[in-house]
Chain A
């Protein structure tokens, strides 16, 4: 639900109309008028408060007499091109430099490669003081519109019609067709019976329009406003013109155009907003390079995300495996300890056989006629020392070779193999040292 208040700042009077739009359409919720001493912040705030408007979003109405309206026919183009073409035409056709006016436009027709637009322009000198006063009064101005479009919003669509607004001794008369403003003008009604003067101005308008658009019959005359004053004026006008004059609301003679503008804006009719003219919005059109860059950026982002996800997965996997290892460790330690103690105990049973098997092997390889062992020592570490005499150094070498081939020793060598003066025939002294196979860290193994 949206609400809009339209303020018409006249020379000495403020007219305020508030309308609200909901799902069922737009309708007037409040309207009124108050004396306006001057178009300044304080008087405006006071007048607005009298009309029941405070701190609201408002739209200002500029009277038709202060605005310049132009119909342009331009070649079709993009919206950006249309903005440029309109600006170019405004610069050419307006009597003021373009930077000194506020202008806007609406498209009124299109066909045969042409676009028809209606431009509304108002000198900034006439708008900006009212804007400053409204802002100073605490009102947020959301748009500025020409009053003719309020009148137009009251017109019945379809057949050409003359729309008349009478307020403050002036009349605005326009010819509308198909919801489009074809012709408009303002007239001062002067002193006396307004119906007479108004009838004359309407008649002039009809003749001017007939000259401009020959063959176009304007069948209806509509007076904006309801109520007694409006009815009396419509009746008098009809009698003078000898044609029926109908009335269009909501609102009375004074508030009807503002009410029409309110409803028109809320209903989304195309009305040129002098504060927000169509702009040549610079639309971004992606090119191949942009697409490639976007794709590359997307790939990089995906890579970044993937890399972090992969790292997180890796960390989870490591944590899971560590937990698994931790859960196995107590049993593993118990088994290792059991195995270690079993191996230790077997040193006193199974593994001691290494010693005896070695002694047996020595006995097998010693030929007493060639070699005699006088001393042999077997240590717990597996080291063996054999000392003795031989008939010849070749007997020692052959003995060492036999020990090596026996497989009982991981290392064996003759530390000493030298002749002596023994008269027994054993002329060679020898010392053989070796290490029993199957020993690790001083312990026997199977």
Chain B
């Protein structure tokens, strides 16, 4: 074998070895390395989120305690209490309460929501008073839908459809050993 052939054979062997090393040694290692690095990055992100969440644990607990305290201050029969409260708000605004249908409970997380649909024919002043009462109440109350209509010739008379709801704390029963 002359010198040139030796060099060519050496180059071919080196290239073959390099290919084999890349294919069977470096590539599997690199794949494992990058997979592990990616997984570590993802776990780091998750840990960061978890720590951020835990950093506001105190405030969340405080807020939740306030809500629970407010909820627990209400009488046990929430529906009757809310009807009574809604009636008093209407009286205060000078309108009579006209409920359509009976509220059916709907589950919202750990709460039961009771939705009340009402209709009013009222003046602009009464409407403003009613809104103010609804706005300022300390009760757990949420307007779900407000539809107001008026006629040009009878601008002072409004037709109001109001859907409001309240909630009652009623956590889902957990399985033994499950999350509280």
Contact = CB atoms under 8 A, between A and B. Distances in A.
A422 to B, nearest CB: 9
Interface string A173-215: 0000000000000000000000000000000000000000000
A346 B67 contact: yes
A9 to B, nearest CB: 55
Interface residues of A, number: 50
B141 A338 contact: no
B33 A352 contact: no
Given A321-B47, A344-B108, A345-B71, A334 B141 contact: no
Nearest to A322: B43
A289 B51 CA distance: 57
Contacts of B57: 331, 335
Interface string B117-153: 0000000000000010011000011111111111110
Interface string B11-52: 000000000000001000100110011011001101101110
A335 B39 contact: no
A334 B63 CA distance: 14
B36 to A, nearest CB: 4
19 contacts: A318-B36, A321-B43, A325-B50, A328-B47, A328-B50, A331-B57, A332-B49, A332-B50, A333-B179, A335-B54, A342-B64, A347-B142, A352-B142, A375-B148, A377-B145, A378-B146, A380-B163, A389-B152, A426-B152
A338 B29 contact: no
A374 B151 contact: yes
B36 A355 contact: no
A410 interface: no
Contacts of B60: 335, 338-339, 342
Contacts of B148: 375-377
Given A352-B142, A380-B144, 13 more contacts: A311-B33, A321-B44, A325-B43, A325-B47, A332-B50, A335-B54, A335-B57, A338-B60, A342-B67, A344-B109, A345-B67, A359-B131, A359-B146
Main secondary structure on A side of the interface with B: helix
B89 to A, nearest CB: 13
B43 A318 contact: yes
A157 interface: no
- Which are the 6 A-B pairs with shortest beta-carbon distances? A348-B140, A375-B149, A380-B144, A328-B50, A356-B135, A314-B36
A191 to B, nearest CB: 75
A340 interface: yes
Contacts of B71: 345
Interface of B: 25, 29, 32-33, 36-37, 39-40, 43-44, 46-47, 49-51, 53-54, 56-57, 60-61, 63-64, 67, 70-71, 108-111, 131, 134-135, 140-152, 155, 163, 165-167, 179-180
Contacts of B142: 347-348, 351-352
A338 B57 CA distance: 9
B66 to A, nearest CB: 8
A313 to B, nearest CB: 10
B29 A307 contact: yes
Contacts of B29: 307, 311
A352 B143 contact: yes
A321 B50 CA distance: 12
Contacts of B63: 339, 342
A318 B147 contact: no
A205 to B, nearest CB: 64
B105 to A, nearest CB: 14
Contact of A378 (B50, B67, B143): B143
Contacts of B134: 352, 356
A369 B144 CA distance: 31
Contacts of B40: 314, 317-318, 321
B70 to A, nearest CB: 8
A359 B128 CA distance: 10
A318 B39 contact: yes
A81 interface: no
Nearest to B108: A344
A341 interface: yes
Contact of B53 (A335, A349, A379, A389): A335
A45 B111 CA distance: 107
Contacts of B64: 338-339, 341-342
Given A332-B54, A335-B56, A376-B148, A345 B43 contact: no
Contacts of B166: 348
Nearest to B180: A334
B73 to A, nearest CB: 13
A23 to B, nearest CB: 53
A379 B145 contact: yes
A350 B44 CA distance: 35
A374 B149 CA distance: 5
Contacts of B152: 372, 374, 389, 424, 426
B109 A355 contact: no
